[in-house]
Structure 1
Amino acid sequence: MPTILADSFTASLAKLSNDEQKRVKLTAFDLQTEPDRPGLKAHRIDASKDPNFWSVRVNRDLRIIIHKTGDSVMLAYVDHHDDAYKWAERRRIETHPRTGAVQIVEVRELVEDVDVHRHLPHQQELPFAIQIEHKVSTSPLFEALTPDDVLGLGVPEDWVGDVLQATEDAFFSLADHLPQEAAESLLDYAASGVLRPPAPVTDDPLTHPDSQRRFRILEGHEELAAALDQPFEKWAIFLHPSQRALVNRNFSGPVRAIGSAGTGKTVVALHRVARILKDDPEARVLLTTFSEPLAIALKRKLGVLLADAPTLTDRVTISSFEQAAADLNALMTGRKAYLIGRDKLRSIISDAASSLPRYTSQFLNSEWEHVIDAWQIDSAEAYATVPRMGRKNRLGSKQRTELWGVFAEVRKQLRSKALMTAAGVFTSVTAHYSARNDKPYTHIVVDEAQDLGVAELRFLGAIVPERQDALFFAGDIGQRIFQQPFSWKGLGVDIRGRSFTLKVNYRTSHQIRRLADHLLPENIRDVDGETDDRKGTVSVFDGVEPVVVIAPNWESEKEAAAEFLKRLIAQGILPGEIGIFCRSNEQISRVAEIAHLAGLKTMSSLSGSSPEDFVLIGTMHLAKGLEFRAVLIVGCDEGVLPLQSRIADVADEFELDEVVSTERQLLYVAATRARDQLFISAIEPGSEFLDDLIVA
């Protein structure tokens, strides 16, 4: 008799202590071996609306809820005695009459209070917390749908009326009572305005795609043990059916998946890699991202995704942009490239320009970084014709000629010292492979693609053959915090007609996403005219309102942040599930003070494993690509955000706009690392960016 594992069982199992989990697993193995054995002390749950729910004793307190028929035994839920019984009494398992999928349905008549005009959950008050008011629509969210439409989305018949009455804000309370696939289908409609056709009805309800997301049929002890021991990442790499086309479709050129933070871009990228490796036994894939810590996270997640075929990972290289180039450069030259540091480079530029005092150091450094080095200009002729996109300082031919004398000297100094810039390494590899037919990779999948620069994009195009499906990019224009914008089309990467926006947020609560969205415009357009329409993005789960504290002094801010931390721990959130971030390294000691006041240990590195009893602290840049149950962003003071030293470093008006924009995006990135709870603080008057959050 097969054992069926429901995701409700694994979710409830994860909430138990380690010792309790071990006891439950042993009982689950006994159930799988001999489900009718008298020693299991199984009892039918008489008060349940479903006659097939039984309780199985684990110990004096714990009970496993199983759903037993003549054909199978389903592990449905586990909890302490009374809570386990209450769960079973309020649910039934059935096949949906329209979709044909198996569902665990909450019994409508036993739910006393489904308030479709609900009260939002609130945090406990903290000193100096600012009240945030939101404009809330009172119109039904799904008023354009008919009852038949709602039923076709997989909503149980009992709940169709509630769905049709729900407002946007109230829907999240209602969604807690619906099967997850039904709630997600409703959210997908809310985001896109499109009713997607349901999957075909299958002969076996358990083979329906929606059923396969929630239930697994396990044949032996080894399969059950593996399923119960799988890490959290197994659920973190779930691919929503609406995103499957992006993974499986063969496109006629480079593709880009864009969307705001938490919409599943990385998951799509991972599944794209897995699909390529499975479909093409000759494929050699580069999966690359902005930094090595992010690459390590991708490697771990891909390992989970390909756990059933681990040898496939032998044909994928996972590394940061810079590391991928450094490795290929070392392979070409037989030696490691030595990169020049920022301060040393600026000193060389200053010395080379000593005879041209009319050009400020800010302008010279910026011109080198964003024009000469970015585009790898190697001659006066190239400098005379390069489009200085976005540069407000117009330069005539005479000015470019005298400036080229400076930059030519800088390039000469770098060569004489055998030093390179990162862009120089990319360019060296690009030149090598552009002239060769044998490429190191057949496919490249890029995560955090918004942080690609000119040299990086050229490099990626050079190390794969000219095939239609060679390049896949995943990113968010709104999270661009490292690079100035430039034309991808101008470098031969034309994504027009193949740029897709993801609208359903799987990581961040409705409240956190709504707050963070106020930091960015609803529409963001890139240099090539491609638009990221961020309006209409929705989250799949609800949470508590974020906290914004503007304190009169540092001591008050510290005490409020420490109190917030203590409350997180009291709620059962582990230290390892918390991140505390600030704008600059100068503030790190303050962050450590907050953690110390809350009685927590800290770590500031992502290398190796992350102990559960350590809180991660660092700058907002460290937060990029990570996710936590709770995030604190402290020290968002006036003069700190945007960072005054960056403002002082700008060379022209355009660059000032870019700095302010990327500083705003940096706060957005940090805020959207939080899944459930978010705390932002400052000393009054606070950063100008906080005004957008308070008047949300």
Structure 2
Amino acid sequence: MPANGSPTATPRDATPDLSRPPSALGRAVQLGLDIDGVQRQITHYEQVLSVLRRQQENWAAGARGEQDVVQVLVGMDDARWHVLPDRRWPGTRRANIDVILVGHGGVFVIDVKNWREATVEDGRLLRGDADASDHLVKLTDQTVAVEDVLIAAGLPPTEVVAMLVLAGRRNIRHQLGRIVLLGEQDLARDLARRGARLSPELVERVKEELDQGCPPMPRDDPPPLSLPATPTPARPAASTPRRGRRPVNGAGAGAGRPAASAPRPLPAATQAEQEELFSRDELWQELLDAAGREPIEGWMTWLHPTQARLTSRTYSGPARIRGAAGTGKTVVALHRAKYLAARGERVLFTTLVKSLGPVYRALMARMAPEHVDRIEFMNVHTVAKRCLEESGETRPYDEKAAGTCFWRAWAQVGQHSELARLGLPLDYWKEEVFVVIKSRGLTDAEQYARLSRVGRSTPLQPVHRRAVWALFERYEKLREERRVLDGGDLLRLARDHVRAQSDAGGRRRYDAVIVDEVQDLGCVAVQLLHACVGDRPGGLLLVGDGQQTIYPGGFTLAEAGISVVGRSTVLTRNYRNRENIVRYAQAVVGDDSFDDLDGVQERGRREVEVVQHGGEVHEAAVADRAAQEAALCAHLTRLHTERDARFGDMAVLAPTNAEAATWLRVLLRNRIPAVSLECYEGGGNPSVKVGTYHRSKSLDFTHVALPDRNLFPPPRQPSESDDGYRERLRLERRQLFVAITRARDTLWAGVRPNPNDARPA
């Protein structure tokens, strides 16, 4: 657990009933409500706003002479929604908050205004010709105060939404800073679109904290209101909560009853009894279990309460979040982006792999549909291309042409040098030029001669380094003759352009940049992203883990000119993988040390607290490829038919693109719905995902199958040197480790004889 704060919140999507699996998650509003449930909520919200509007004239709230929010307490048919009227504003003695709406859709601080002349111009709220921004400031301050109260309840700040509702108006929706401006008749649709985000237990805990931190204002109660009856659909009897405990505040056996007509604090004895009946740890476990029952896209946005403070932490400069696989780094990063966007900041969320951008965007659309358009999701090379378009660079970025130039350079220089006698594959020298030299932006031979080759363990003598530099210079000459740019040029030129703009006093292009899987980027790429925000407080957040580096080469943050001293957090709890899968994965890399961007070698077997016990790891011994195809397809089919597992929560992963394409054809031929990870965009696709170990980076799956598990890493080649083999083995073991740790609940590993073993000696 991070040492920077006490346990806090849990954002959740769709956990309306912890006692049984949800039936239609991700369909009607992609957040876990079936069609009938959505219609009931829309009808109910319309009734609530109708009552609020009718009663506005009965309540005065301050010297401004405006109509106040109607004070109501509404009971839903399943006791999942509560309207808390006229609550004390925390930190003040007499000021009040008009209405707090609490329920499975979240927490909403609502102010209703009877302003017929309200308009929005150029992002400013006007009442007639007068600037009404002071009302926005007040509502924002109220919302922040409610956030602070709810930290102890385990709710992250991003789940508290400020709404200014214009009574009697429709077709109005504006985002003014962190405040949503809505017409009354638009409110029901907006709330329903958010779906079910909080479990019944968390709703009740939030309500208790609000009763303590935002108690009812001490004044006479208003006359009771008569609300239209909400239709109550037939519901099956609630099942017994786990471990035989009684339901808490209407959940379980109490579901289906209307809520009380007015909020009443519980007697001390009842509160103490509640604490005994359902502890915080048990609540968190219930939330974790409920998250595990969701489609995998919902799981990938689930934040554990102990990590919630990280999403809103204040940093004085560049910061870093690191930790072992499964510790929730990417989830924290996504919630951090949501938090910053909700405050009006321009956010870039980036990584190396191009296909992850659409996935991240789809996940954010589930979490925060109102803020997703404020965040740019693109890989670092797309960022660089945009920068070069601004600079007027005309040379094309062409990796294929650059590759041709390299092989010509090798034929002219490399194959006749000392490099050809080291027993290393030709791709090794291409990586040395592209990854070690160009991704660091080296410009002369002396820099390379002194360079600590982070991530490369094969030693190179001075004669070898001189030969590499000669190869590099010939490649550069050929590339410049063709007037093309490679990836290193693209990033370097973009970095220099952004730095020049900043030095000239230009406005930074982003307020915040969040870099996921930073360990897979090069030094120049990270310098480019750093230049986009500089050292401004909270501007740059680097997220990643050196043990999951799946590409050759590396760098240190010191090389990049970035310091995160005092602003680095290490996550040590694995929430994703069940224990048996964690142990299986650790056995792969446990003996391999690694560098985590600081130049210090760390041991492979790390101390990780595993939250989820159990898990299945099944190694299936098969006689040949045909038998493996039959066994794997039978395994996926059994998961689907006997365990009611979703095909969309499964993945088949292979080490190469060719093998992944083969397995995609196998699944389709056996009438198992399947889709390539290259086409997956995180939108709840109901098909088995098939792709490479590399393409699966940053993704989670409930069930993973790894065919030919025992054949990767491949055995040593006859021409391969000892040093080259050891370096390749460590890299490929990390790639296998990443693939294994994509599995949450089950891992199937195919084991078949190596066809090369049958070759005659």
Name the TM-score class by shorter chain. 0.5 to 0.7
Contact 1:637 1:687 in 2 (8 A): no
Structure 1 residue 426: Cα displacement = 0.7
1:655-680 superposed Cα distances (whole Å, 9 cap, x missing partner): 53332122112122112222322211
Show the counterpart of 1:202. Answer: none
> Does residue 411 in structure 1 map to residue 476 in structure 2?
yes
Contact 1:583 1:636 in 2 (8 A): no
Distance 2:348 2:719 in 1: 36
Structure 1 residue 86: Cα displacement = 5.1
1:424 pairs with one of 458, 480, 489: 489
Equivalent positions of 1:355-504 (< 5 A) are 356-360=416-420, 362=426, 364-389=429-454, 390=456, 392-396=458-462, 400-401=465-466, 403-437=468-502, 438=506, 439-504=508-573
Residue 551 to residue 425, structure 1, CA distance change in 2 (3 Å): same
Contact 1:484 1:658 in 2 (8 A): no
Structure 1 residue 598: Cα displacement = 4.4
TM-score calculated relative to the size of structure 2: 0.61
Show the counterpart of 1:584. Answer: 656
1:61-88 superposed Cα distances (whole Å, 9 cap, x missing partner): xxx8658999999886999966635569
Contact 1:477 1:532 in 2 (8 A): no
Contact 2:520 2:554 in 1 (8 A): no
Show the counterpart of 1:628. Answer: 701
Show the counterpart of 2:313. Answer: 249
Contact 1:257 1:475 in 2 (8 A): yes
Structure 1 residue 580: Cα displacement = 1.0
Question: Gaps spanning 5+ residues in structure 1: where?
Answer: 36-55, 57-63, 95-101, 108-151, 164-174, 188-212, 215-229, 689-696
Residue 627 to residue 232, structure 1, CA distance change in 2 (3 Å): closer
Show the counterpart of 1:223. Answer: none
1:115-160 superposed Cα distances (whole Å, 9 cap, x missing partner): xxxxxxxxxxxxxxxxxxxxxxxxxxxxxxxxxxxxx999952588
1:9 pairs with one of 10, 14, 17: 17
Distance 2:459 2:417 in 1: 16
Distance 1:588 1:346 in 2: 28
> Does residue 615 in structure 1 map to residue 615 in structure 2?
no
SS of residue paired to 1:410:
helix
SS of residue paired to 1:518:
helix
Contact 1:258 1:532 in 2 (8 A): no
Q: What letter corresponds to residue 517 of structure 1 in structure 2?
A: Q
Contact 1:269 1:447 in 2 (8 A): yes
Show the counterpart of 1:565. Answer: 636
> Does residue 157 in structure 1 map to residue 276 in structure 2?
yes
Distance 2:563 2:694 in 1: 29
Structure 1 residue 402: Cα displacement = 5.4
Contact 1:550 1:685 in 2 (8 A): no
SS of residue paired to 2:694:
helix
Structure 1 residue 491: Cα displacement = 2.4
Residue 155 to residue 405, structure 1, CA distance change in 2 (3 Å): farther
SS of residue paired to 1:7:
coil
Residue 104 to residue 687, structure 1, CA distance change in 2 (3 Å): farther
Show the counterpart of 2:608. Answer: 537
1:344 pairs with one of 400, 404, 407: 404
Show the counterpart of 1:295. Answer: 357
Residue 155 to residue 332, structure 1, CA distance change in 2 (3 Å): farther
Equivalent positions of 1:82-93 (< 5 A) are 84=238, 92-93=246-247
Structure 1 residue 504: Cα displacement = 2.6
Distance 2:693 2:575 in 1: 22
Residue 320 to residue 687, structure 1, CA distance change in 2 (3 Å): farther
Contact 1:262 1:508 in 2 (8 A): yes
Distance 1:333 1:620 in 2: 37
Show the counterpart of 1:353. Answer: 413
> Does residue 21 in structure 1 map to residue 21 in structure 2?
no
Structure 1 residue 520: Cα displacement = 2.8
TM-score calculated relative to the size of structure 1: 0.66
Distance 1:440 1:68 in 2: 41
Q: What letter corresponds to residue 324 of structure 1 in structure 2?
A: V
Contact 1:289 1:446 in 2 (8 A): yes
Aligned-residue Cα RMSD (Å) equals 4.5
Contact 2:457 2:727 in 1 (8 A): no
Equivalent positions of 1:540-555 (< 5 A) are 540-542=611-613, 544-555=615-626
1:617-654 superposed Cα distances (whole Å, 9 cap, x missing partner): 2222221122222211112243xx11469x6897x655
Equivalent positions of 1:162-173 (< 5 A) are none
Distance 1:248 1:487 in 2: 27
Residue 653 to residue 369, structure 1, CA distance change in 2 (3 Å): farther
1:335-374 superposed Cα distances (whole Å, 9 cap, x missing partner): 4732222752441232331683432173643432343323
Structure 1 residue 600: Cα displacement = 0.9
> Does residue 322 in structure 1 map to residue 381 in structure 2?
yes
Structure 1 residue 422: Cα displacement = 0.7
Show the counterpart of 2:323. Answer: 259
> Aligned residues: percent identity?
22
Distance 1:70 1:464 in 2: 41
Residue 181 to residue 569, structure 1, CA distance change in 2 (3 Å): closer
Distance 1:540 1:80 in 2: 37
SS of residue paired to 2:570:
strand
Q: What letter corresponds to residue 559 of structure 1 in structure 2?
A: A
* Deviates most, 672-681 or 432-441: 432-441
Q: What letter corresponds to residue 505 of structure 1 in structure 2?
A: N
SS of residue paired to 1:606:
coil
1:240 pairs with one of 304, 318, 323: 304
Distance 2:685 2:299 in 1: 19
Structure 1 residue 586: Cα displacement = 3.4
Structure 1 residue 324: Cα displacement = 1.1
Contact 2:355 2:681 in 1 (8 A): no
Contact 2:620 2:750 in 1 (8 A): yes
Distance 1:105 1:32 in 2: 23
Contact 2:437 2:448 in 1 (8 A): yes
Structure 1 residue 567: Cα displacement = 0.5
Distance 1:610 1:73 in 2: 28
Contact 2:657 2:692 in 1 (8 A): yes
Distance 2:301 2:429 in 1: 45
> Does residue 601 in structure 1 map to residue 601 in structure 2?
no
Distance 1:321 1:287 in 2: 9
Aligned length in residues: 540
Contact 2:621 2:752 in 1 (8 A): yes
1:104-124 superposed Cα distances (whole Å, 9 cap, x missing partner): 5899xxxxxxxxxxxxxxxxx
Show the counterpart of 1:43. Answer: none
Distance 1:534 1:432 in 2: 42
Show the counterpart of 1:200. Answer: none
Equivalent positions of 1:89-168 (< 5 A) are 92-94=246-248, 156-157=275-276
Distance 2:704 2:615 in 1: 13
1:188-236 superposed Cα distances (whole Å, 9 cap, x missing partner): xxxxxxxxxxxxxxxxxxxxxxxxx99xxxxxxxxxxxxxxx9975664
Question: Gaps spanning 5+ residues in structure 2: where?
Answer: 1-12, 49-75, 85-100, 105-199, 202-231, 255-270
1:83-103 superposed Cα distances (whole Å, 9 cap, x missing partner): 635569965344xxxxxxx79
